A and B are shown apart, each in its own frame.
Chain A
Amino acid sequence: MKNIFSSKLFQFSSIVLIFSAFIFVACDKSVERDGTELDPLVPTKVDADAGTWKPMLLQSATDVSLAAPEDVSSANYQKELADMKTSMQNISDDQRVAIRYWAGGGVLRWNQIMRALVAKRNLPPAENANGEYPVPSSASPNNDPIFPFSNPPYASRAYAYVSVAQYDALVAAMAHKQQFKRKAPYQVDANITPVIVSKSSLPSYPSEDAVLAGVTYEMMKRLFPATEDTLFLYQKKEEQKWYKLWAGAATKSDIEAGEKLGKAIAQKVLARFTTDGMRNAIGVKAQWDSLAKRVEEQGEVAWVSLEDAPRPPMLPFFGNVKTWNMDFATLKSLSTQYPPLSYKSTEFKNQVAEVKEYVTTKATRENIAIVHFWADGAGTYTPPGHWNAIASEYIASEKQSEFRAARNFALLNTAMMDAAISCWYTKSYYYYPRPSQADPTIKTLTGVPNFPSYTSGHSTFSAAAATVLSYIFPTNASKFDAMAKEASISRLMGGIHYRMDCEYGLKYGALVGAKAVERGQNDGVK
């Protein structure tokens, strides 16, 4: 019998198979969803009373005044309306893409943009030839290392300031909307049907999208001043500012007034931003040494950098930055009420042994998955970014209005910046060594952060975030609590924290979160 494998038919089919495999593999590579997908926002509640909510920094909602708009019957307005219609008729594909993008919700979009930029810039500077680590400079942001190094404290501050500025600006926008009650184009002219976006019942002047674009861009270009980032932000700002005009839902004067208001409110927020103590958060070598000396004088062991060359601690004086939801005296006493175990105690030795166990016999695949799910290390949006991502899902699925979304992000992000301040205060106060310093045989399942161990930043951020989110979405409180606990224990599983760091981190975080909840209970939001 003739061997089938030597037949001409088989030869032919094998050639066909090989060539078809080439065609099969040559197709385009991509992921189907990058996680930024949002349905067009039609809020379940319009929050027309948002102008009465209490702003965070403004004295009042109408602190920044706005000139009254021209009447819709005026010749100028009628011309604007005609121009808008022309623009709608000539709508481009790019404009449609932009409308679809921003219709998902401006607050959610800017939150995504900010998380992406934090991840982009969350890279520790490389050491130079002298074994020193150059500090990124906002004065020359494009030079290596590019400014900023958006590490967790930096990121928490970025998320907080942008959220606060957006919240105050939207409260002001609503107050002025209700003050002037100018109709939207489709209310003036029934023949206008907006493209993609829904018809809002709210007054149109000033445009809340332009307010949001103006205030956010002014804040973010200071947080991410590298030319590449600022150009990208400018493009996004312009898109958001104009998309309602392209869509037939706002006129030029609605938009221009909005951007002006947004920019003016950003200046008020920036006055606090530039004087909140961040510039002193790095410190100098003599100050770092004094942190260690203080601990050693008490007979304890001080933290040292485990990196080669040794890297200065990450923002050791971030604990002195101005807080949002409590005063500095409260912060200090809150953040030192639970001291760590003594380095010489038997209990501490047991905790070191437990860490070793987690990275050896207990390093199961399931545990490593938990470690990596919550690691949020270099090159990511950091733990505060992770909690913003979690909050975004709930805010999107509840279809919260822009106003409510901004308020909830402001509560969440001020809580997490306060958590960073509190935790960094605790860290520098106790200056506690990491597990791999206590026992160099501990090999970790994620990178060892370059700052003291007690308490765990992840635990503090997570408990603060879970406390705030449980207040905002009470039916999901048990889920948030479980997530915070998992994020916390992940640091022990990864071999970079002791159990005490995690457990007391959760306690501190809950206390900090409760201060933000207090604010939320008194800001007039129902």
Chain B
Amino acid sequence: MKKNIYTIFALLGCLCLQFRSVAQNMTDGIFMAKNNFCGGFGYTYDAWNQYWEGSLFRENKNLGTVKTQMVTAMGNYGISDRFNALFMLPYVKTEATKGTLSGMSGVQDLTLALKYRIAQIKNISLIGSVGSSIPVTNYVADFMPLSIGSQAKTFFTRGIVYYTLPHDLAFTAQGIYMHRTNVRMDRTMYYTDQAYFTNEVAMPNIVNFSAKFGHYSYRWQLEATYEQNITQGSIDIRRNDMPTLPVKMDFTKVGFVAAYRIPQLNDLQVQLTASQVVAGRNVGKSTNLSISILQFIDFRRNRKSDMPSGPICRPGDVNHIQMQQQKENHEHKE
């Protein structure tokens, strides 16, 4: 019997998307210059003590606060100035402060993506990206909200518009369509919109939009962020039920991202993000904080070549770092 099922795991959708605040390069308009690599680690702390059961906003005294911590390894390599390869791989640990349920931990999904600047029209970059994520361990998916992931493989395609404005201001908007493969659980029946006597779950796809605006220069970054997530389908967590993998997880999130490259540490970048879910459906009203540290490595054979680019490659501004350094030197002399 063919039936559409529309659902997704409430917390997990959050998790997947929260990675983006760590691995900023997946969603922004910045490219690594050819033969440059930027890599590092991020730590994320996410917590909620109230959630939406469908549209009903509630607490659960038998969960208390659900905390998720993540350490993410990530990297971004410049195949060319306009074509980058990216990866990220998180380790996730969950716990609930009340009740008896055990938390879970483990290495989750490896995400690989390719990002390409399709066109540059004056100060506007049009960027396309495709990618995929695969679970790298056999972690438990069907233990929401304490499981660390959904075990779905994903294939996504993303469009990014990046607009650089005078006075080091920048605006970025991105949209992603994420296809998710079916998942097999340990149990052989579940109930969502109907009873299923199988361990197979169809995972609804995800549409996500986000935008940010603020200051972006080589040294500093301070931008306000906005994100809207929409999971396809219409399956809600039933009244007082445990969430199941294919629940419709929607949320609206606002926050900021701040970053600084430390001159004394070879321009090591420290990045902070904070965000708050302000509206949602089948998700926790979570507060999310992250810190990440990123370092460039220049693999160019001939660094004194005629290509005057630095590690960061902004459109129409390939020698951005040089300009930045000149500017700073100039200020220093004064």
Contacts and interface: CB of A to CB of B under 8 A. Distances in A.
Contacts of B140: 365, 368, 372
A115 B187 contact: no
Contact of B116 (A14, A377, A443): A14
A28 B4 contact: yes
Interface residues of A, number: 64
A443 B201 contact: no
B239 A37 contact: no
B203 interface: yes
25 contacts: A6-B80, A11-B119, A18-B159, A21-B156, A22-B177, A24-B155, A24-B179, A28-B4, A29-B5, A29-B233, A30-B2, A30-B3, A30-B202, A31-B196, A112-B197, A116-B191, A145-B240, A308-B62, A309-B61, A380-B191, A442-B100, A444-B101, A444-B102, A447-B242, A495-B102
Contacts of A380: 187, 189-191
Nearest to A27: B179
B130 interface: yes
B79 to A, nearest CB: 7
B185 interface: yes
A34 B196 contact: yes
Contacts of B130: 17-18, 21
A15 B118 contact: yes
B188 to A, nearest CB: 7
B305 interface: no
B67 to A, nearest CB: 14
Contacts of B261: none
A3 B78 CA distance: 13
A245 interface: no
Given A30-B3, A308-B61, A389 B197 contact: yes
A6 B116 CA distance: 10
Interface string A433-466: 0001000001111011000000000000000000
Interface of B is mostly: loop
Contact of A35 (B99, B155, B197, B233): B197
Contacts of B142: 372
A379 interface: yes
A125 B240 contact: yes
Contacts of B256: none
A18 B102 CA distance: 41
B157 A33 contact: no
Contacts of B103: 443
Contact of A3 (B80, B100, B156): B80
Nearest to B95: A443
B232 A33 contact: no
A210 B48 CA distance: 54
A479 B185 CA distance: 22
A29 B202 contact: yes
Given A15-B118, A35-B189, A119-B195, A29 B4 contact: yes
Interface in A21-64: 21-22, 24-25, 28-37
A243 B57 CA distance: 46
Contacts of B80: 3, 5-6
A447 B101 contact: yes
Contacts of A368: 140, 186
A144 B130 CA distance: 46
A123 B4 contact: no
A125 B239 CA distance: 8
Interface in B1-51: 1-6
A126 B159 contact: no
B246 to A, nearest CB: 9
A378 B190 CA distance: 10
A6 B241 CA distance: 53
Interface of B: 1-6, 61-62, 79-80, 82-83, 98-103, 116, 118-119, 128, 130, 138-140, 142-143, 155-157, 159, 177-179, 182, 185-191, 194-198, 200-205, 232-233, 238-242, 244
B51 to A, nearest CB: 13
Contact of B177 (A15, A25, A116, A445): A25
A124 interface: yes
Instruction: Report which residue of A146, A368, A376 has the largest number of chain B beta carbons within 10 angstroms of its beta carbon.
Output: A368
A463 B101 CA distance: 27
A375 interface: yes
A497 B238 CA distance: 28
A279 B80 CA distance: 75
B62 A34 contact: no
A389 B190 CA distance: 13
Contact of A126 (B182, B195, B205, B239): B239
A379 B6 contact: no
Contact of B189 (A3, A31, A359, A381): A381
Contacts of A32: 2, 200
B155 A21 contact: yes
A355 B142 CA distance: 22
Contact of B118 (A14, A115, A363, A389): A14
A21 B157 contact: yes
B101 A18 contact: no
A307 interface: yes
A35 B196 contact: yes
Contacts of B116: 5, 14
Contacts of A447: 100-101, 242
A113 to B, nearest CB: 9
Contacts of A30: 2-5, 202
Nearest to A12: B118
A525 interface: no
Contacts of B202: 29-31
Given A368-B186, A444-B102, A378 B196 contact: no
Nearest to B128: A18
B186 A5 contact: no
Contacts of A33: 1, 198, 200
Contacts of A309: 61
B190 A379 contact: yes
Contact of A25 (B82, B99, B179): B179
B234 to A, nearest CB: 12
Interface in A321-346: none
A37 to B, nearest CB: 7
Contact of A375 (B82, B187, B200, B240): B187
B240 A359 contact: no
Instruction: Report which residue of A21, A116, A363 has the largest number of chain B beta carbons within 10 angstroms of its beta carbon.
Output: A21
Contacts of A15: 118, 128
B311 to A, nearest CB: 18
B46 to A, nearest CB: 20
> 5 closest Cβ contacts across the A-B interface?
A35-B197, A116-B195, A25-B179, A443-B102, A372-B186
B188 A29 contact: no
A29 B62 contact: no
A5 B83 contact: yes
A379 B197 contact: no
B100 A306 contact: yes
B186 A369 contact: yes
A34 B202 CA distance: 11
B27 to A, nearest CB: 15
